[in-house]
Each structure stands twice: as structure tokens, then as C-alpha cells.
Amino acid sequence: MEASNSHSFLSLVHLFVLFLLLCFVVTIEANSKKKVSAFYVFGDSTVDPGNNNFIDTAFRSDFPPYGRDFVNQAATGRFTNGKLGTDFLASYLGLKELVPPYLDPNLSDKELVTGVSFASAGSGFDPLTPMLGNVIPVAKQLEYFKEYKKRLEGTLGKKRTEYHISNALFFISAGTNDYVINYFSLPIRRKTYTTPLTYGHFLLQHVKEFIQNLWKEGARKIALVGVPPMGCLPIMITLNSHNVFLERGCVDKYSAVARDHNMMLQHELFLMQLNFSNTNPAGAKISYLDIYGPLDDMIQAHQNLGFDEVDRGCCGSGYIEATFMCNGVSYVCSDPSKFVFWDSIHPTEKAYYDLFMAARPTIDALING
């Protein structure tokens, strides 16, 4: 009897300790979330929740089967079957479940205060890239942010707006279109920048300029995503294989460009961080978010991570379809969660969630640092 009572007592102690640990973890997460006042997103289709719905461009996805696994199967303009990685991140930060597009005329003040996306599918750092699809340049996205700040000042006042912005998280995802749609596909830039390396340096100048301008506007926590293994995008495999049905492996010469770009990007961000720290002790904190490694793992070790298909998208043949070519009459796979890619360019919701999970430690360090 005494042994039984002793065992019960120890069990209660263990449960109590576990309860305290759980409370501790929850408190830490809650405190970290409170450190972020809002979430602002800039870039391309990987983070555009539907801004392109409100401009005159063919780079749109506001029609089925896009959004097939979204709430009410709504095709919001997100280039995937459900949520984007930025949606998962906004939810994790405790701000909102979905990041809305800034150009949505029906946005409430509450939605505006906690953050929006200015991103536009088809955009890039190279000023020529958005011209190819008549989409919103990154520089224009910054102008929209300045416009947004004025609207916020009307709600919060100037001082509160400055404090609000300084405690917000800024998220940038662009660069892939500059290479895939622009440099690799058209001769214009290759005439001036004869190697991907020299073109990469050109892009990084625009990256630096954009971050410096964000800093001038009050940004203090900035996360910038690298480029993915571009040679593994289904469309790149299709366009660069002798037999698109039999040769579906990654084309490493394009992924090698991505690796070089990401190395240069990390170096430039490190130098910028040093400069901000030296000139202003309370300067911006800049973090590089690796998309290459996690996406490459999904492809190379796909079976261990729950994916069956890695070299084609879920929509249509998966070889070439994207935007209007992935449409209401296209064949759609039965289980997108088994696919890394939704169309021939963009990840599925499951892949975006895994990318978000891979980025979480870096985000935590950024917002708590």
C-alpha cells in the first residue's frame, strides 16, 4: 500500500514538473511573439497573397485549381494549393492567420495595423524583371510601404507608428525570377553581364539599396530569403532536358548559380549588418533565411520527408504549367501533400509549411536578439 502511494506521489510530481515546463515554454513563445508588432512582406510569387489580382497582368492565380486546399477552396491569388510560408509565419507570430495583399481595397484598419504583403508575382530585384510581366517592381513595393506608413500615422499617430514599425518583422523573398524569367531566358541582360556571377553582383547592388531604404523607413528586423536550387524547378528541368519524360533530374548548372548567389548574398548581408551596428548601436538586424538547403533536402531525401513526387508539379502534367496554364480544366493530383511542387514553379502548401519550420529557429533568433 505504501509503495503504491509513493508511486502515485512520484507520478503527481512528474506531472507537475511537466506542467511547469509546458507553462515555461508557452510563456517563452508568448513573450517572443509580443516582440513583433506587425509583419511586412516584399517580393515575388512566393509571398504574393493576391496583389496581382488588382493590377493588369497575366501573372495571376485567382482561379481554380489554385487555392484548392485553401479555406472554402478560395483562389486568392496565392500561387499554391493553400497557404504560403508567410501565412504560417504570421500565425506563429500571433499576429493573424493570413497575410492579406496591400492592394485589397477592403482591408480593415485592424488588418493594416498587424501587417500586409506588398509582394507581386513575377517581380524581382532587377528593374527589368517586373517589366516583363507588367507587375509591381520591388521599388514600387517600397513606395506602397511609404504610403502605408502615412495611413498608419492617421490611425496611430506619428510617434506610435515609428515605434510600431521599429518592432515589426520585415520579410523579403525575391531573386528567382531575375535568373529564371530574365537572365536565363532572355539575351538582354546577358549582353551586359556575360556571366551569372557578374549578373549576381548587379542584383546584390539592388538588394543592398532596397535594405538600406527599408532601414531609412524604420525597419529594424529584416529577414531575407535566398534563392532555391533553381535547377530543380520542374520547369527548368523540362526546358533543359533532352527527353523531358526520361531525364527528370535536377540541372546542376542552374542550382550552382543559386549556390553562388546565396554565398554572395550572405557575405553582403554580413557586411551590411556590421555597417549598421557600427553606425548605429540600435541599427537593423538582418538575417539570411536558407531556402536552398531545406528544399534540396525535400527533393533528395523526399521519401524520408513524406514526399513522393519531386520533379513535377501537381497541376496538369506538372512539367510546364504555371499561372494561366494551370487552370480549371487542368488535371490535378489527388494528394498535393505528396508533391513538393504545386505547379511547375511553386511549392505546395505542405512544402511551404516545411520551409517555414526550417526557418523558425532563424526567425526566433532575429526577433529575440
Average pLDDT for 348-352: 98
101 and 154 in contact (C-beta within 8 Å)? no
What's residue 17's pLDDT?
A: 42
Category of 306 on φ-ψ map: left (φ > 0), alpha (ψ -120 to 50) or beta: left
101 and 48 in contact (C-beta within 8 Å)? yes
User: pLDDT tens, 298-319?
Assistant: 999 999 999 999 999 999 999 9
3-state secondary structure of 79: coil
| Catalytic residue status for 343 | yes
| Catalytic residue status for 14 | no
153 and 161 in contact (C-beta within 8 Å)? yes
- Between helices 349-368 and 2-34, what is the axis angle to 10°? 80
Element (H, E) at 92: helix 85-92
| Residue from 37, 44, 346, 354 carrying the catalytic annotation | 346
What's residue 284's pLDDT?
A: 79
What's residue 247's pLDDT?
A: 76
For residues 36, 111, 99, 116, the Cα torsion angle rounded to the nearest 10 degrees is: -80
| Residue from 87, 126, 296, 343 carrying the catalytic annotation | 343
What's residue 28's pLDDT?
A: 35
Question: What is the CATH T-level fold of the domain 36-368, as seen in this structure?
Answer: Rossmann fold (3.40.50)
Average pLDDT for 325-337: 97
User: pLDDT tens, 108-127?
Assistant: 988 999 999 999 999 999 99
Assess whether pLDDT exceeds 60 at residue 16.
no
Confidence label for 27 from pLDDT (cuts 50, 70 and 90): very low
User: pLDDT tens, 167-204?
Assistant: 999 999 999 999 999 999 999 999 999 999 999 999 99
Instruction: Record the cell numbers describing residue 151, joined without a space.
Output: 495611413
In the DSSP assignment, the letter for residue 332 is B
* Dihedral (CA of 311, 46, 293, 93) sign: negative
Average pLDDT for 145-170: 95
User: pLDDT tens, 214-258?
Assistant: 999 999 999 999 999 999 999 999 999 877 777 789 999 999 999
Instruction: Record the cell numbers describing residue 305, joined without a space.
Output: 520527408
Amino acid letter, residue 234: P
Q: Where exactly are the structural domains of the chain? A: 36-368
What's residue 275's pLDDT?
A: 87
| Residue from 37, 44, 45, 173 carrying the catalytic annotation | 45
What's residue 278's pLDDT?
A: 80
Average pLDDT for 9-16: 50
| Catalytic residue status for 44 | no
List the beta bridge partners of residue 153: none
User: pLDDT tens, 270-291?
Assistant: 999 988 888 776 677 999 999 9
pTM (two decimals): 0.90
For residue 196, say if its preceding peptide bond is cis, omega within 30 degrees of 0. no
